[in-house]
Amino acid sequence: MDSDTFSAIQRSVVRCARCPELRAYCASIARERKREFASDVYWGKPVPPFGDPHARLLIVGLAPAAHGGNRTGRMFTGDGSANWLARALHPVGFATQPYSGRRDDGYSLVDCYMTAVLRCAPPGNRPTPRQISNCSVHLERELNALSEVRVVVALGQIAFDVIVRQLQRRGYGLHDSRAKPKFGHDLQYELQAAAGPRLVLLSSYHPSRQNTNTGKLSQEMLNAVFERARRLLDQESRGLPAFAAAPL
């Protein structure tokens, strides 16, 4: 993806008004604010994608957090989920530092592009099917432009289901056309299409408070997903077989 296309996608996301109820909700959160962030000026608009337009790693999350991305204006920035993800990305070279707190904190992604199913924070983190459908135009445009992606990490069941559907529309499937990828933590699938590069899809529990506070997801578990992504991309760089034919 060239820089002009990336900038155009970012502008299109920020201007999006396909879900008026989500725009109103995000604006109301920005007005009311959380006591912890009472002095902050909230972003309160759709949150654009973030990262390297030439990335080989694509991360797909659910949506901006009401007091995270919706406050800071950057994907996975300013909340607990952001810190968990940054701590997983930094040791394997996908991020420049192990924390993501503000848009101006120097945090950037390396060979990694971050996006989400929804670009607006949904009430209760529960997007409706219509909202997911409305927002899919942005993800479709990104997938069309991200020609160098080889590994996709889906964070959570919804992100996994959405990216599988999007890739299937592009002709991607498993070796066994009768099989369907199933969500689980740290699973790996090789996807192939008649035209286009082979892709590896990795699935992970989302680093939400619900998962991390209950112990369903540990930092070590999340780290392992991105360590796997790094190994796959390193193998590809060396011209070695990078893909397995079935989930591991």
The full DSSP string for 92-123 is GTSBSSS----TTS---BSSEEEEES-SSPPG
Rg of the chain in Å (alpha carbons):
17
Q: Domain locations in the chain?
A: 3-237
Strands 112-116 and 199-204: unpaired
What is the pLDDT at residue 96?
98
Q: What 8-state DSSP symbol labels residue 35?
A: G
Indicate the SS3 state at residue 10: helix
What is the pLDDT at residue 180?
83
Q: Any idea what the Cα angle at residue 185 is, between residues 179 and 190, rounded to 5°?
A: 40
What is the pLDDT at residue 194?
85
d(CA 40, CA 79) in angstroms, rounded, equals 14
What is the pLDDT tens value at each position of the chain, 248 positions in all?
Answer: 888 899 999 999 999 999 999 999 999 999 999 999 999 999 999 999 999 999 999 999 999 999 999 999 999 999 999 999 999 999 999 999 999 999 999 999 999 999 999 999 999 999 999 999 999 999 999 999 999 999 999 999 999 999 999 999 999 998 666 678 999 999 999 999 988 889 999 999 999 999 999 999 999 999 999 999 999 999 988 876 544 433 32
CATH 3.40.470.10 fits 3-237, yes or no: yes
**239's torsion region: left (phi>0), alpha (psi -120 to 50) or beta?**
left
CB 202 within 8 A of CB 226: no
Closest to 153 in 3D by CA, of 227, 100, 245: 227
> Could you please report the per-residue DSSP string of 173-232?
B-SSTT------TTEEEEEB-SSS--EEEEEE----HHHHHTTSS-HHHHHHHHHHHHHH
Q: How would you label 1-12 residue by residue, b for 16+ Cβ within 10 Å and e otherwise?
A: beeeebeebbee
Q: How would you label 27-39 residue by residue, b for 16+ Cβ within 10 Å and e otherwise?
A: eebbeebeeeeee
Kindly state the tokens that stand for 146: 């991200």
What is the pLDDT at residue 247?
32
What is the pLDDT at residue 241?
57
